[in-house]
Amino acid sequence: MLITMVSLSHHLLVCLTLPLLAALLARICKADVIFPFNCSSQQIKKCDAMLYHINAGLNDDQIASFYSVDPSTFRPISHGKNQNYLIPVTCSCEDIGNDTIAYFYDVSYTVKEHDTFQDVSTSIYSGQALEVGDEASSFNPGNKVPMNLICGCMESQSKTIVTYTVQQGDSLTSIAAQLWTNIKDIERLNSNLTQNPDFIISGSVLYVPMDNDRIPAPRKRGGGSKWTILIVVLSVVAFFSTIALLIFLIRRRKGKKMSVEDPKPLSKSMMSGRTFSLQTQFPYTKNMEDVTAFESEIPMIYSLEEIEEATDNFDERKKIGSGGYGYVYHGILGSKEVAIKKMKSNKSKEFFAELKVLCKVHHINVVELLGFASGDDHLYLVYEYVQNGSLNDHLHDPLLKGHQPLSWIARTQIALDAAKGIEYIHDHTKARYVHRDIKTSNILLDKGLRAKVGDFGLAKLVERTNEEDLIATRLVGTPGYLPPESVMDLQVTPKSDVFAFGVVLAELITGQRALVRDNKEPNKMRSLITVVNNIFEDENPEKALEEVIDGSFRGSYPMEDVYKMTELAMWCMSDEAVNRPEMRDVVLALSQIVMSSVEWDASLGGNSQVFSGIHNGR
């Protein structure tokens, strides 16, 4: 009997203690993740601020009602595939008791059945409401209760503080990239960050200073749509009318030139018996559509004789590259150095893929297509000649290939150049393309060691819709650079290129190949992706990183910037495509790394071989 009573009292004690312990833990955890922005010593009593709202399924009018704002002021901002909002509010310095004098934006909320303060703060206000202490007693159905949403003010007229709630998969690098700021500015405003600044908890709240000129424009609602449609339709009609007129004039001029001024190209083709037209070689409707698709872009059409003359009849000494598609030769056409890719006619799919992309893509960081030719059972693509070969040759055994090892400064600039080229085909062309074979051997370096993305033989068009996944019919690309979704589900999205670019960044940092033979098990290959994962799984990631940094640097590198680039590589190589950044985010992050690295180099006297080239080049 005594034992039974002791047992009952023990259970009663546990039942009473557990809720109290849970409440205490919740309060402790909440205290760890939300800190009001103190204003007791600030002169600014009121300012414009932004609250980052994580959309949990509410419509615009519901969100506007909860925040007591006009929905037309919302600034759309993406996080992965989620459409979130920056909500402009007036932030005021307030004394809310408990010795708390801080910046807040206050709203009223009408409590519903089963509501709790924590649930409302999380689901409606993105966890940005500060718990004062008496919420348990006031949170009764029907009551109107104040919600003190934390915000911040700063003296700078060019920046606005965004109250940001950390989301799953976030790091300081990704947050800085998303809100167009830098990590040091975030750290300055958030003194609660730990010594490892990327150890941030999902649900914690940070103050992020955002440049005013980077804040997205409000989304237009309602009126004016008819006028917009009319203007777009008229613009499209005018554009195609102009294109049609240009094609007519060019064809007419070209026809006169061939028949009167110089009949030689035509007679050459007829006499040789080896040169054939693309139309006769590919009579199928699909391929003829491919031809007309790039006709309006007017690439130069060369004769086979011109190609042979340019390469000394494809002299072996002129060969500068090879691959599954065929060979690349150095040549001279007129007075211009060119690179000529020679492909078997059964590679017509890759041939047309490159033509369709490169005829429409013109960017300083993308290899330029000059023209094409066909003949003797082969297809030929003529590119600008990029003098210093591939990045692969400069990273892996460079001395054996006649190159000096690349400095850290050169590598950061190469990374930024290549990222800009990929970003361009993803975001800035009329049609959106996925390269599908980003790797160091497809990144070429000019005489100033500036990078250009090449080899678009596997490129795919991806529609600009919400559902961008494209299912490939076969696995293409290069082992070591393929993301999980491509290997397992044959999915192709711009995020496939982002993953591969992450591997390129890892190669730039470590000097290792994407796939290397495992020292412990020689019969197995080890992925560079695993090497980077192991760095961040280590108790001391900085030390683990130092052990794999390319030895050719000989200790000459800024550790902070190398660490940031490694974090960026890790972000790009996230297993889930939705957790990877867009290439525009990568470009921003690399721009900051380049600037910081150049400052580091300048502090050493700017003596590196590449330092002056960065400023005197393009």
- Measured CA to CA, the distance from residue 129 to residue 299 in angstroms comes to 60
DSSP-derived 3-state class of residue 572 = helix
Please answer whether residues 424 and 416 qualify as being in contact, where contact means their C-beta atoms are separated by less than 8 angstroms: no
Tokens for 552? 């050719």
Distance CA 430, CA 520 (A): 49
Query: Could you give the CA distance from residue 101 to residue 40 in angstroms, rounded to a whole number?
Result: 6
Angle at 174 between CA 168 and CA 177, to 5 degrees: 145
CA-CA-CA-CA torsion sign (217, 223, 227, 230): positive
> What residues have CB less than 8 Å from 339, skipping those under 6 apart?
320, 321, 328, 329, 330, 331, 382, 383, 384, 385, 386
- Dist. CA 107–CA 68, nearest whole Å: 7
- Say whether 437 is catalytic: yes
DSSP-based three-state secondary structure for 301: strand
Sole residue written with tokens 């290397």: 516
- Alpha-carbon distance of 282 to 291, in angstroms, equals 10
* Segment (H or E) for 104: strand 101-110
| Residue 279 tokens, joined | 């139309």
Q: How far apart are CA 48 and CA 589, in angstroms?
A: 27
Q: Is 342 annotated as a binding residue?
A: yes
By the 8 A CB rule, do 91 and 46 touch?
yes
Neighbour tally for 248: CB within 10 Å: 10
Residue recorded with tokens 């949170």: 139
CB atoms within 10 A of CB 419: 28
Distance CA 396, CA 243 (A): 46
The torsion defined by the Cα of 182, 186, 187 and 193, in degrees rounded to 10, comes to: -130
Q: Single out the residue of 293, 384, 307 nearest to residue 338, CA to CA.
A: 384
- The token pair at 615 is 């400023």
Q: Is the alpha carbon torsion for 551, 555, 556, 562 positive or negative?
A: positive
Contact 329, 337 (CB under 8 A): no
* CA–CA separation, 611 and 614 (whole Å): 6
Alpha-carbon gap, residue 611 to 603, rounded angstroms: 12
Catalytic residue (one of 198, 393, 437, 497): 437
Tell me, what DSSP letter sits at residue 38?
B
- Please tell me the distance from the alpha carbon of residue 101 to that of residue 108, in angstroms, as a whole number: 20
Which alpha helices (H) appear in 367-511, and where do they start and end?
A: 391-395, 408-423, 484-489, 494-510
Kindly state the tokens that stand for 382. Answer: 């003529």
Could you tell me which residues are annotated as the binding site for ATP? 342
Could you tell me which residues are annotated as the binding site? 342
Positions marked catalytic: 437
